[in-house]
Chain A
Amino acid sequence: MINTENNPEPKNPLGIAGIEFIEYATSQPLALGSLLEQMGFMATARHRSREVTLYRQGTMNIIVNADPGSLSPSSKDPQSTIISAIALRVRDADAAYRHAIEMGAWAIQTRAGAMELNIPGVHGVGDSIIYFVDRFQDFSIYDVDFKPIPHAPQSPPAVAGMHFFGVVQTIGAGRLPEWIDFYQQLMDFRALPEGRYFGVLRKGTLLESPCRSFYLQLVEPPEDGAVLKWDEQLVRVGIGAPDVLAAVKELSERGIVFVDREPTKTSTRGALTQLYRGGISFELVISGSSVDDGSVAAAAEAV
C-alpha cells in the first residue's frame, strides 16, 4: 500500500465496526446446529425459502447454510463444513463495496449467499465471501429473509459474556506479506508486531481490524511439513470472553470438550475446543465485552 510507512494510524475507510455475522456452509446442518447449541447459541430464525438457520447469542450471529450448492463445487469433501462468509458491519455498505472493488477486490458474481437481500460482498480467501452490512442498528437484515422460530428467544444472552474475537485463516508457505497487503489494501487491517498474541494459539500473525474490535490470524503451514494438505481458507472462529476459565467451565458443563494438553492447554489467556465433526473448532480468547463502537482490543490482555 502506498505511503503506509508514514501513516501508521488506521484510517478505516470502510467505517468497519465489527462482525455482523459469520456464515458456515455445511452438508451436516443438524450436527453443526447441535454443536452451536452446546456453545451457547440458540436457533432463533429460519430462512423463508432455503435451508438456512440463524443462531444467536449476545452480539454474535451465526448463519448455518445447508442450501444445496452453498458448498462450492471445488470443495472435494462432500461432508465438509466450511466458514463460507464473514459479514462486516460498515458505515455504508455500498460505499464499502465500491472502495473494496476500487482497491482490487473480486466482486461476487452471483449471490451464492444465504440472503435474499442484496448484501454487497467480495471474494475473500478460498471460496469465502466478505459481506458488507450497514443495517445493524434500527433495522435487522434478518427481518427480511428469516422467520422467527416460534417460542424461541430472539435475543438469547451470551454465555459468559462471549463475543466474536476474530477468525483464523490458513495461508500458503511464505505468503504472509502478500496477505497482509491484501487486507491492508482492501480494508486497512494492520499487522500487529510479530510475536504479539492474545490466546493460546501463539503462532502466525495477527491483523487488527481498523475498528480494533476483531482480528484475523494468518497461519502458515508448520515448517516440519507435518500436514499433507494446507489450503488457504478460513478455519476457525475465535470467541472473546472476559473470563476464559469461567467460560470454559460453563461450556464444559454444556458438553464442550477443550484440548487439555500443551501447547494449547486451557489457561486464563485462552482455550481451544477439540476438533468436531466437519473440521470445526472454536477458540476462546481473553477479551473484554464487545461494544458496537468500541474496542475489545483495549480490554484484551496482550501477552
Chain B
Amino acid sequence: MNLGNFGMDTITLAGPLESKLQASKAAGFSQIMLWAKDLASYPGGLDQAVRVVKESGIRVTGIQVMRDFEGLSGALHEYKLDIAKNMLQLCKAVGAPLLMVCSTTSSHADADINLIAKHLAKLATLAVPLGVKVGFEALSWGRHINQYPQSWEAVALADHANLGVVLDSFHILANNTELDSLDDIPSHKIALVQLSDYMWRDIRSAEERLETARHLRVFPGEGTHSAELSEMLNRLDRAGYRGDFSFEVFNDDYLQLPPEIVARRAYLSAKWVTDQVLRRSLNVRERSAKHQMMA
C-alpha cells in the first residue's frame, strides 16, 4: 500500500509539533498538513519550528488557513491582503507548496463572484514568485460560498494556473452537496482533497454543523458516510485526480490520546480509502501516466 499521497493534519494530534511529526512519520506518512499557528506558537520561534519540520524529513502538504480573504474592499481588503502576504511568506519559509484559503464568513464581504475571482487571482499572482499555490475551499458555513460547485465557479472564473480548489468531504457531506458536479472540475484544478467523516447521519442546525466540524470529526471509514465518501473517492479517481489527500480530522477524543494511537487510526483509514478505489476495475492505472498533478 502506497501512503505517498496521504498525510495527517496536525489538528488531529495531541502534543508538541515534534511529537506530531514523529507519530505520523512512524505510522508511515511522508507528509503532513500544517496550521500557521503550529509555526507561530512554537516555543523556540519560527526559525526553529522550520528547522524541526525540515529535519523531520516530512513533506509539508500545505499551510492552513487564510480566512475571510475574498470580497472585501478598501482598508479591510488591504489589511487582509497584508495578512495573506505574511501567510505566503510562512509557506515559503517552511517549504509548504500550498496556502489554503477558506471561503469568507464575513458580513463585510461582497457576494460578487467576479470580485471574488479577481481577489483570488490577485493572491495567486502574489504567490507565484514564492513558489506557493493557492487552494480555495468552500466552508460549509461560508457566507456567500458554501458549496464546492461555487468555489469551483470562482476558481474557474479567476482562470489562474496558480489557483485550484480544495475539496473537503466534511463540508460537502455537512451541506448534503451532490457529488455529480465533481465531474465538472478538471483534476489538475484540484489543489488538495481533505477527508473526514462524522458519527451521525444528519446535521440538524448551523450550531451543530460548527460543533461537529470543530470537535467531532472522525477518519474516513470510521463514520456514517462511508458510501458517500467511497463515491466521492471513485469519482475523483475516475477523473484522474492523483494529488494529495489530507485527513483533516478535528476530534476532541483523539486529542486525549497519545499521537501514536491516533496516527495508527489514520493509517487504517488510509488503507480504507485506497481499498475504496482499488475495488474499481484495473484500468485505473492506465490513465495515471497522462495526468498532470496540481499539488
Q: How far is the CB of A107 from chain B (nearest CB, A)?
A: 10
What are 10 A-B contacts defined by CB distance under 8 Å? A2-B159, A103-B122, A103-B125, A105-B126, A172-B131, A175-B131, A181-B128, A182-B128, A185-B121, A185-B125
Residues from chain B with a CB closer than 8 A to the CB of A178 are: 128, 133, 161-162
Closest to B133 in A: A178
Are B159 and A177 interface neighbours, CB within 8 A?
no
Let me know if A4 is at the binding interface, CB within 8 A. Answer: yes
CA gap between A151 and B158 in the complex, in Å: 55
| A174-206, CB < 8 A from B | 174-175, 177-182, 185-186
> Among the listed B121, B128, B131, which residue makes an inter-chain contact with A1, where contact means beta carbons less than 8 Å apart?
B121
Kindly list chain A residues whose C-beta atoms are within 8 Å of the C-beta of B117: 2
Smallest CB–CB gap between B234 and chain A, Å?
27
Out of A104, A124, A125, which one reaches B125, CB within 8 Å? A104
Contact of A181 with B129 at beta-carbon distance under 8 Å, contacts A2-B118, A2-B159, A4-B159 already known = no
- CB of A252, distance to nearest CB on chain B (Å): 38
Question: Within 8 Å of chain B (Cβ to Cβ): is A106?
Answer: yes
Q: Would you list the 9 A-B pairs with minimal beta carbon distance, nearest first?
A: A104-B125, A177-B161, A104-B122, A182-B128, A178-B162, A104-B126, A185-B125, A181-B161, A178-B161
A2 near B158: Cβ-Cβ < 8 Å: yes
Within 8 A of B (CB), among A157-186: 172, 174-175, 177-182, 185-186
Q: Are B129 and A1 in contact (CB under 8 A)?
A: no
On whether the beta carbons of B131 and A105 are closer than 8 Å, the reply is: no
The answer to the question of A147 belonging to the interface, with a C-beta cut-off of 8 Å to chain B, is no
**Cβ of A175: which chain B residues have Cβ within 8 Å of it?**
131
Q: Given known contacts A2-B159, A102-B122, A181-B162, what 12 new A-B pairs fall within 8 Å (CB)? A: A104-B125, A104-B126, A106-B126, A106-B129, A126-B129, A174-B292, A177-B162, A178-B128, A178-B133, A181-B124, A181-B161, A232-B131
**Inter-chain contacts of B133 with A (CB < 8 A):** 178
- Complex contact B125–A105 (CB within 8 A): yes
For residue A232, which residues in chain B have a CB less than 8 angstroms away from its CB?
Answer: 129, 131
**Bound form: Cα–Cα A179–B159 in Å:** 13
Whole-angstrom distance between the alpha carbons of A2 and B124 in the complex? Answer: 13
Query: Is residue B13 contacting chain A, with contact meaning CB distance below 8 A?
Result: no
A104 contacts B123, C-beta separation under 8 Å: yes
Residue B291 interfacial (CB < 8 Å): no
For A2, the chain B residues whose CB sits under 8 A away are 114, 117-118, 121, 157-159
Interface size on A, residues (CB 8 A): 25
At the interface, yes or no: B108 with Cβ under 8 Å from chain A? no
A6 CA to B128 CA in the complex, in Å?
24
CB distance from B99 to the nearest CB of A (A): 13
CB distance from B288 to the nearest CB of A (A): 16
For residue B85, CB closer than 8 A to chain A, the reply is yes
Interface centre among B121, B122, B129, B157 (most CB of A within 10 A): B129
Instruction: Tell me whether B123 and A1 are in contact (CB under 8 A).
Output: no
- Neighbour of A104 across the interface among B114, B121, B292, CB < 8 A: B121
How far apart are B230's CB and chain A's nearest CB, in angstroms?
31
- A98–B131 CA distance with the chains assembled, in angstroms: 23
**How far is B160's CA from A181's CA once the two chains are assembled, in angstroms?**
6
A1 to B128, CA, bound (A): 14
Please report the C-alpha to C-alpha distance between residue A126 and residue B159 in the assembled complex, in whole angstroms. 24
Chain B residue numbers with a CB within 8 Å of A102 are: 122
Residue A91 at the B interface, CB < 8 A?
A: no
CB-CB < 8 A to A185: which residues of B?
121-122, 125, 160
Could you tell me the distance between the alpha carbons of A4 and B161 in the complex, rounded to whole angstroms? Answer: 13
A101-136 to B contact mask, C-beta < 8 Å, 1/0: 011111000000000000000011110000000000
